[in-house]
Amino acid sequence: MNVKRDENRVWIEGVEGFSSGEWASSIHGSYATILQAVNERLSYDDLVCLGGFAFRLGIHENMCPSAAHPACGYKCLDGAIRALPWRIDFHESFPWSEPKPDRAAFETEVRQGVKDSVDRGVPVHYTAEEDGLIVGYGAGGDRWWCVHPYHKDGKEPFWHDEATGFAGPDWPWGIAIWIEPKTESERADPRELTARALAQAVDMWDTQRREDYYVGEAAYNHWIDWLQRVDAGSPENRDAMQGNGWCFDVLVQSRRIASRWLAEKASRFDDDVAGKLREAAAHHARIVEICTDGLDSTWDLALPPRRNSEWTSEMRTEQTRRLELAREQDREAVTAIREVVTRVT
């Protein structure tokens, strides 16, 4: 435990934030940061793969960037949550939930829980549209010292009540307080978790749509069609450039992680299954190569909205070409994983 105190605050020293460029999922990134702080071996790669997020492609019908969030569309959280090796108390306060009977008492209880957790050296996970971490407190627990990927890329801590945007200052949608490690008998079986994640990867490819979000092969099809409509002169679709760029970036990050994770997991299975996992990993690695070839950043091809005037027909045609090739690689990866699923579930 590395808890420090001065006249203004109490904080856990050495807990660093993360950026969305490093870890696209702020939910899984917050879990991973706490796991590091409490010396658990489960990694961000493990979490996004066990939750299925690294295998998913989601695209909103109107190209909203929320498609690249693990809680939107086909949800990719349950497997990661089951894998967590600690018991967690979750205090929800979603905007759509019923009001608390005694709001003041609720907030007092949560603030005390946050204070106690920091005093034990365990960061607290807070959630809204994007998630962050409470790593300290001030004013006896009434103020929270935080890091968040959407506040200066996670590099600088801040007071929650002084932040804006995703990072604050409103009361979070949820506060997750890690209480204590699970016993060995309470912990999920890693092989079962892996098998479930692989089955989910197949199901996501086949599902086509969840709510307003296309999934899997249907997501590729909608995305490619959108780019072609823009190129044909549909001006309203240019408003969705942020979703296009962010989903392209997350696709690369996700498949890069999926590739190395499957390659690592292959050694834990018999030769036939291991071979199929390595085959899927190779297809995922090929997606990364296709999408990044010749680029310093995916955003150099799928431009952000502020560069609207630079977004040419040639760029859209090239992105379409890459997505068509990526779709074929993903299809082949799912074919290999489908064979694995029939053998391990």
Note whether 17 and 93 are same-domain residues: yes
Distances (CA, A) of 35 to 53, 226, 292: 18, 39, 31
Note whether 199 and 307 are same-domain residues: yes
Asked whether 137 and 143 are in contact (CB, 8 A), the reply is: yes
Asked whether 217 and 205 are in contact (CB, 8 A), the reply is: yes
Low-confidence ranges of the chain (pLDDT < 50): none
> Residue 61 falls within a domain, yes or no?
no
> Residue 215 falls within a domain, yes or no?
yes
Note whether 129 and 268 are same-domain residues: no
> Residue 213 falls within a domain, yes or no?
yes
- For 21, the domain range is 3-41+86-181
> Residue 97 falls within a domain, yes or no?
yes
3-class DSSP state for residue 20? coil
pLDDT at 87: 98
Note whether 142 and 194 are same-domain residues: no
Bridge partners (DSSP) listed for residue 210: 213
pTM value? 0.96
Among 181, 216, 242, the domain-final residue is: 181
Of residues 141, 238, 231, 134, the one with CA closest to residue 177: 134
Residue type, 130: E
> Residue 105 falls within a domain, yes or no?
yes
Helix ranges, the chain (H): 26-37, 44-50, 78-83, 103-119, 190-207, 217-231, 241-266, 271-292, 313-344
pLDDT at 35: 98
Asked whether 167 and 156 are in contact (CB, 8 A), the reply is: no
Residue 295 CA to residue 300 CA, distance in Å, equals: 7
> Residue 9 falls within a domain, yes or no?
yes
- Residue 270, both tokens: 């018999």
Domain count across the chain = 2
3-class DSSP state for residue 92? strand
Note whether 156 and 205 are same-domain residues: no
Residue type, 164: T
pLDDT at 345: 78
Note whether 310 and 168 are same-domain residues: no
Give the CB-side neighbour count of residue 101, counting CA atoms within 13 A.
0
> Residue 146 falls within a domain, yes or no?
yes
Burial of 201 (0-12, 13-18, 19+ CB in 10 A): buried
> Residue 63 falls within a domain, yes or no?
no
Buried b (16+ CB within 10 A) or exposed e, 236-272: ebeebbbbbbbbbbbbbbbbbbbbbbbbebbeebeee
pLDDT at 256: 98
Note whether 316 and 239 are same-domain residues: yes
3-class DSSP state for residue 221? helix
Of residues 141, 185, 147, 180, the one with CA closest to residue 163: 147
Residue 286 CA to residue 203 CA, distance in Å, equals: 22
Cα 272 from chain centroid? 31
Note whether 29 and 164 are same-domain residues: yes
Note whether 25 and 174 are same-domain residues: yes
Note whether 177 and 226 are same-domain residues: no
pLDDT at 147: 98
Among 134, 152, 181, the domain-final residue is: 181
Note whether 27 and 132 are same-domain residues: yes
Among 181, 210, 237, the domain-final residue is: 181
Note whether 169 and 206 are same-domain residues: no
pLDDT at 45: 98
